[in-house]
Structure 1
Amino acid sequence: MTDPDSPEPKFRRRAEARPDEVLDAALSLFDEKGYAHTSVAQIAKTAGLSKGAVYLYFPSKQAILEGLVRRAVSPIATRAQALVEPTPDDARATLRALFSLIATSLGDPKVLAVPKVVIREAVVAPEIAAMYRREVFDHVLPAATEIIRQGIASGQLRAVDPELTLRSIIGPIVVHLLLAEIFDIMPEDGLSLDQLIENHLDILFHGVFLSPEGSTDA
């Protein structure tokens, strides 16, 4: 017979919090051991659950990773889409807002850890790359491309190729993460995404070469 004075089992007391606790445990293990080397049993143990209890919330390990993406990164995609509606009057301000959103969001270690896991594992697990594309890029890229199209239509931007221009614009952030996470090439100040984005926006808006008036060339 159950002692009425004993605390309820952790699962029963905190049932509504269990999915997040499973996701927190999985994120910690994916970051430490890698996705491929983490089992559902290990996630369950770290979360203080039985393996069967984890399956009540997530039918597979990939479903857990999808849950992490939806919790941490998908909201960024939704907010990025909102930047395009209504049509922005100031393309520079809209692009700055988009990159500020990215920098602020990825400044949260729990958010940043998700694309880091995807970058590390996507080469050996193509289904992870496909899932991340479906959940994130298929929403963010059309919204960001639309910002460029609207800037061209309003006469704020030159008539550039919107899709190629977007790749040029987001490329530095992707390369920044790849250099750090795949090749272990880290800037002196760490990832510092906010600094990278400010530097990138400065180059994007003002270029990198001195104007002819300020040039020292003969």
Structure 2
Amino acid sequence: MSQQNPNRRDIGRKPKFRRRAEARPDDILDAALKLFSLQGFMPTRMEDVAKEAGISKGAIYLYFPSKKALLEGLIRRAVVPVADSALEMIAAHRGDPLPVIRKFLTMVASAVKGPDGFAVPKLVIREAAAVPEIARMYREEVIDKALPAIAGLIAQGVEGGYIRNVDPELTVRTVVGPLFMHVLLDEVFGIRPDEGLAIDRLVDNHLTILMAGLAPETGGAR
């Protein structure tokens, strides 16, 4: 009976588990978000994230050279795609802005219900005072793009007579402000509705008030 070559006994066998290289950035970001949320951005070390992600301390630097890069990755993964999609919708719209504003807020509500959609804005609010670059990064990637686009949409609506004569820049704050305040009350002050954050209900309630407030005084477009 022939003996099996011990050097060839594993040839053709598949390993029980092999982490796909293309999945590792998401694994690392998942680990970073978990640790940043639990223990804060500053106390978390890169080696902590590597351990949580199940990789070596050196391997994490192949994908993210710093904690700042991890944070950029979290924002770009969870928030930027939603913001870019909303901006494309706003840029392409002509006419009554109210349906677009409704769709925009509904998109935001849907996005923050995802696994890390709400966690990233909450992380920004929690850490911004201690780590100003977090707020700056979020502003550059999201806010500086979104606010002018929504203001332009509102100005177009005023000019066309679809909404009453309001200040576009201040009205943007009225449109998005309740969402930020909702997170702030929960995250900073621990004030939460009995039903939980209930983001869908907040958006529905906000839209009821907002649509009535923006409706033209005389009705109809010019």
**TM-score scaled by structure 2?**
0.87
SS in 2 for 1:156: coil
Q: Distance in 1 between matches of 2:102 and 2:17?
A: 48
Where 1:110 maps in the other structure, the secondary structure is coil
Query: Which residue of structure 1 lines up, in the alignment, with residue 15 of structure 2?
Result: 7
Of 96, 106, 110, the residue aligned with 1:100 is: 106
| 1:51 and 2:31 correspond | no
Indicate how the Cα distance of structure 1 residues 8 and 138 shifts in structure 2: closer, same or farther if over 3 A, else same: farther
- Of the structure 1 ranges 107-116 and 120-129, higher mean CA displacement relative to structure 2 is found in 107-116
CA-atom RMSD in angstroms:
1.8
For 1:93 and 1:83, the matched residues in 2 are separated by 11
Matches of residues 1-218 of structure 1 in structure 2 within 5 Å? 4=11, 5=13, 7=15, 10=18, 13-207=19-213
* Aligned match of 2:4: none
Offset at residue 125 of structure 1 (A): 0.4
Stretch of structure 1 that moved more, 151-160 or 47-56? 151-160
**TM-score (structure 1 length as normaliser):** 0.88
Contact 1:87 1:150 in 2 (8 A): no
CA deviation after TM superposition for structure 1 residue 89, in Å: 2.4
For 2:20, give the aligned amino acid: R
After TM superposition, the runs of 4+ consecutive aligned structure 1 residues lying more than 4 A away are: 1-6
Task: State the 1:87 CA deviation.
Answer: 3.1
- Which residue number in structure 2 is paired with residue 213 of structure 1? none
Unmatched 5+ residue regions in structure 1? 208-218
CA offset digits 1:65-88 (Å, max 9, x no partner): 110000000011101111223233
Q: Percent identity?
A: 50
Whether the 8 Å contact between 1:88 and 1:94 is mirrored in structure 2 is no
Please give the alpha-carbon distance, in whole angstroms, between the structure 1 residues aligned to 2:179 and 2:92. 26
Between the aligned partners of 1:134 and 1:180, the Cα distance in structure 2 is 25
Which residue is 1:211 aligned to?
A: none
Structure 2 stretches lacking a partner, 5+ long: 1-6, 214-222
Give the aligned residue type for 1:83: M
Letter in 1 for 2:82: I
| Distance in 2 (alpha carbons) for counterparts of 1:135 and 1:51 | 29
